[in-house]
Amino acid sequence: MTTAGPARLNRDIGRRIVPLFRPYRVQVAVVVGLIMVTSTIGIINPLLIEAVFNKALFVPGGPNIRLLVILVTIMAIVPIVNGAIGILQTYQTTRVGQLVMRDLRDRLYSHLQTLSLAFFTGTKTGEIQSRLANDVGGVQSVVTTAASTILANIVIFASTVVAMIILSWQLTIVALVTVPVFFWLTRLVGERRRRVARSTQESLAAMSALSEETLSVSGVLLAKVFGNQARDTARYHEENQRQAGLQVRQQMIGQGFFTIVQVFLSITPAAVYLVAGLLLTRGTGISAGTVVAFTTLQTRLYFPIGQLLQVSVELRSSLALFDRIFEYLDVVPDIVDAPDAVDLPAIGSGGRVAVREVFFHYPGAPQDALKGISFEADPGQLVALVGPSGAGKTTISYLIPRLYDVTGGSVRIDGADVRDVRQSSLAAAIGFVTQESYLFHDSILANIQYGRPGASRADVEQAAREAYIHDRIMEFPDGYDTIVGERGYRLSGGEKQRLAIARVLLHDPRILILDEATSALDTASEREVQKALDSLMGSRTTIAIAHRLSTIVNADVINVIDGGRVVESGTHRSLLRDGGLYSSLYQEQFDGGKVQWRCPDGDVMADGTVRHRQPQAGITGAG
């Protein structure tokens, strides 16, 4: 790292931090005014000391009590007034700082919301959360106090130097000689601390990511079934150890530095006494009052330097954090509304989806995931996508709601290229049932309402009825107010799926994308889910990544995907007749049509009966 590098970085980041305060110009101006007042008032008392000594206390003929009382009264009032203004200033500073922090957190969160799925698949969740929480938290003290501390101390420093010169320019030179040494030290220590701070923060993020991954339900489950707890614990310990070491280093760099500062602070007044003595022997008239006033002022000279150094160390450490925050803010969202984007026409009967010669390449992947896919789904049609694992079915489903942009060809809805349509309008028109039924740690009501915020209780219940989950919900003591954790409190896999279906029913999209879960449900749950799905599909245009026989057989068109291409297309009957890939998949997966759906406890047969396998302990119930 060259020395010019960090300096330029600091300036660039500085240029980006200042605009954060722009909306609060007026408040900032008030704070600046208050700081100027409080920081200058402080020199009044030391200057009065000279007068107290020379004009009131030690005067020929005894102390001048009248003058002394006046001076002492002023000396008593000054700190009271100053304290009051100080409180006001602290309040204003903290308030502005917190408003800026609020804006920064909001900006980062809303920016992250605009980023595409690709960003999140490529970044650890814990890492993102760490930047939002730890890094923004880390710059908080700087934003709330650094600027005001710097300004206050510069004013204190400058006003003190002026007052000192008024008292004695010779002594001022002695007092100021050490200042450049301090500044040199600051730069040195600040730079080191900044580097350690960045490593500390990276290590914190790594720890968050690790605990987030391994202490989630799925993570714990995985570790337990593979017996990897000890390995995970060792990984955590290693990072934790690094973190502890870095924290000690960070703390010690500051400490050693401040000890040196303390030594300087103690030595310099002694030097002043010495020089004052030398000046007196040469006949330069320096009064006792001047020396006392001067040494009192001196603490005001070094105190701000100490403070400035401390803030500058903190500031430099925080610049590393700002760096990390701006790094995220600088990620340009790759999927944004076109400037002339339009809303899809709100016609209930629409919903024609046309996928035309679509190519798609995942960033960094060796080859295209989709290689010229074309198919259509007319309003109300059920189009099934089937094919072996890794064929590209999920990728196709992501392109329709524009979670990714095609790299060639186009996806059109009712004639409009999805890239020309507002994303909010696309989201309103399309419903997505993913394999994993993700529920928030909130009430059942809130989870279903997520499909249409503000929907009435009656609408929610109607959706739940259509998803065949209402009766089950009513069995809970808290009914719709039951909290479903990430663990899915009292909810089986099938129930969670039906809740997710109710959520989409409430959303009421004209196009439905259905990624049928392959997760193992027992036969009873499976039939309930099937009924819920039937009512969800209804008369919507449905594109289903189908794993159920009924979905496939009922499809108006089945597209068989293999290696990123549509290799066969037609109805169930015509494809069976052709005897191609579809026909062999059909034999393999559905036993030539006898099996509708395979479950751990048995198979749901195409005629609706259940063929049970021998009972297996522990599999029935929650899926």
Ligand X SMILES: Nc1ncnc2c1ncn2[C@@H]1O[C@H](COP(=O)(O)OP(=O)(O)OP(=O)(O)O)[C@@H](O)[C@H]1O
**Interacting residues toward ligand X by CB under 6 A:** 121, 362, 365, 369, 387, 389-395
Select 175 or 433, whichever has its Cβ closest to ligand X: 433
Q: How many secondary structure helices (H) and strands (E) does the chain include?
A: 23, 15
Residue 487 DSSP SS3: coil
What is the closest distance, in whole angstroms, from the C-beta atom of residue 120 to ligand X in the complex?
10
Q: Give whole-number Cα distances, 578 to 393, 397, 569, 574, 602, in Å.
A: 22, 26, 10, 6, 31
Residue type, position 425, single letter: S
What is the closest distance, in whole angstroms, from the C-beta atom of residue 561 to ligand X in the complex?
6
What is the closest distance, in whole angstroms, from the C-beta atom of residue 392 to ligand X in the complex?
4
What is the closest distance, in whole angstroms, from the C-beta atom of residue 558 to ligand X in the complex?
14
Report whether 448 contacts 495 (CB < 8 A): no
Select 125 or 241, whichever has its Cβ closest to ligand X: 125
Report whether 244 contacts 238 (CB < 8 A): no
Closest CA to 604 of 519, 521, 501: 521
Select 281 or 389, whichever has its Cβ closest to ligand X: 389
> At a CB cut-off of 8 Å and minimum separation 6, what does 534 contact?
none
Q: Give whole-number Cα distances, 2 to 5, 184, 314, 484, in Å.
A: 5, 17, 21, 54
Select 466 or 515, whichever has its Cβ closest to ligand X: 515
What whole-number distance in Å separates Cα of residue 213 and Cα of residue 135? 20
What is the closest distance, in whole angstroms, from the C-beta atom of residue 191 to ligand X in the complex?
39
Closest CA to 427 of 504, 498, 493: 504
What is the closest distance, in whole angstroms, from the C-beta atom of residue 539 to ligand X in the complex?
26
What is the closest distance, in whole angstroms, from the C-beta atom of residue 366 to ligand X in the complex?
9
Edge-to-edge strand order for the sheet containing 610-612?
595-599, 602-605, 610-612
Select 325 or 385, whichever has its Cβ closest to ligand X: 385
Report whether 616 contacts 600 (CB < 8 A): yes
- Rg, Å, the chain Cα set: 36
What is the closest distance, in whole angstroms, from the C-beta atom of residue 389 to ligand X in the complex?
3
Select 305 or 386, whichever has its Cβ closest to ligand X: 386
What is the closest distance, in whole angstroms, from the C-beta atom of residue 589 to ligand X in the complex?
12
What is the closest distance, in whole angstroms, from the C-beta atom of residue 395 to ligand X in the complex?
3
Q: Give whole-number Cα distances, 161 to 28, 299, 457, in Å.
A: 26, 12, 71
Listed in order, strand segments (DSSP E) in 378-503 are: 382-386, 408-413, 416-417, 430-433, 442-443, 483-484
Select 304 or 387, whichever has its Cβ closest to ligand X: 387
Select 190 or 392, whichever has its Cβ closest to ligand X: 392
Report whether 312 contacts 188 (CB < 8 A): no
Select 236 or 398, whichever has its Cβ closest to ligand X: 398
What is the closest distance, in whole angstroms, from the C-beta atom of residue 559 to ligand X in the complex?
12
Select 390 or 538, whichever has its Cβ closest to ligand X: 390
Report whether 550 contacts 389 (CB < 8 A): no
What is the closest distance, in whole angstroms, from the C-beta atom of residue 404 to ligand X in the complex?
9
What whole-number distance in Å separates Cα of residue 395 and Cα of residue 578? 27
b/e per residue 180-219 (b: at least 16 CB within 10 A): eebeeebeebbbbbbbbbbbbbbbbbbbbbbbbbbeeeeb
Report whether 118 contacts 332 (CB < 8 A): no
Select 38 or 497, whichever has its Cβ closest to ligand X: 497
Select 275 or 403, whichever has its Cβ closest to ligand X: 403
Burial of residue 113, with CB atoms counted within 10 A of its CB: 0-12 exposed, 13-18 middle, 19 or more buried: exposed
